[in-house]
Amino acid sequence: MNKKFIALIILVALLLVGWVVYRYYGITPKSVIENVNEPEFKEVTGYSTGGAGYACSKPIKVQRQRKLVGHMGGSSWETLYLPVNEDEAKLFCHGTWIEEYKGKLTVLQKPEVLDLISKYQYKDVSIKALEFKYIQDKEFVNRLLPQYKDREIGCIIILETPNEKMVFLEDEKLETFVQMDYKLFDKQLDQVSPADKQTFLESLH
């Protein structure tokens, strides 16, 4: 094998390695990597992870970061603003691809709910909603809440803290028309079939 051919093989290999490094590790000039004029930190009411969008019930602090994001056509490095406090974001920000996210945000914006949450660490508070496809099943909802069969229920929200657990029933405009202690709601669930109760509990997220 002559030296020219070997040199060509080495050159091709180096070019290939360079392309892989550029493609997957984002080794490019800083001016290309990100807009350095953008602030490192800011407050937002929504953010993107590159593959999914989140809406927040209140402003949260985010930090500019460089992340490798996967797409249908492959992966690329992107400049994103991501939450500084992940526990805060998990509580107050919810995926916009999930239909019932808006119902959670309206509950989290209530002054009395914010006052309650302020007593605890964010990681100790959770909020869940009944999956939207079951809200659309009027027969199922009427079996759960027969006393409200004449109301249009748009969302059922469960808020839980270390010492409290509450249920919020929202109408089609996502305005709360009933707020009750979960113990009372649980007694009502005991009146429905075990299958319906299990479906309800397993469909909260």
Closest CA to 188 of 127, 142, 130, 131: 142
Cα 143 from Cα 189, distance rounded (Å):
9
Rounded CA-CA distance 164/4 in Å is 77
What was the pLDDT predicted at 76? 80
Question: What distance in Å separates the CA atoms of residue 193 and residue 140, rounded to the nearest whole number?
Answer: 11
Helices (H) and strands (E) counted in the chain, each on its own, are: 9, 8
pLDDT per residue over 138-172, tens digit each? 999 999 999 999 999 999 999 999 999 999 999 99
Residue-level pLDDT at 10: 66
Q: Which comes out higher in pLDDT, residue 99 or 202?
A: 202
Q: Which residue type sits at 153?
A: I
Q: Which is higher by pLDDT, 22 or 73?
A: 73
Domains of the chain, residue spans: 1-28, 34-88, 98-205
The Cα–Cα gap between 48 and 50 comes to: 5
pLDDT band at 12 (very low <50, low <70, confident <90, very high): low
Highest-confidence range of 5-9, 65-69, 129-133, by mean pLDDT? 129-133
CA angle (170, 205, 75) in 5-degree steps:
125
The DSSP secondary-structure symbol of 172 reads T
**Segment 16-43 mean pLDDT:** 60
pTM of the model: 0.80
The region that residue 67 occupies, defined by phi over 0 for left and psi between -120 and 50 for alpha, beta otherwise, is beta
d(CA 21, CA 28): 10
Q: How many CA atoms lie within 13 A of 197 on its CB side?
A: 10
Residue 194, pLDDT score: 96
pLDDT interval class at 68 (50, 70, 90): confident
Listed in order, strand segments (DSSP E) in the chain are: 41-48, 53-71, 74-83, 93-95, 126-129, 153-160, 165-171, 176-181
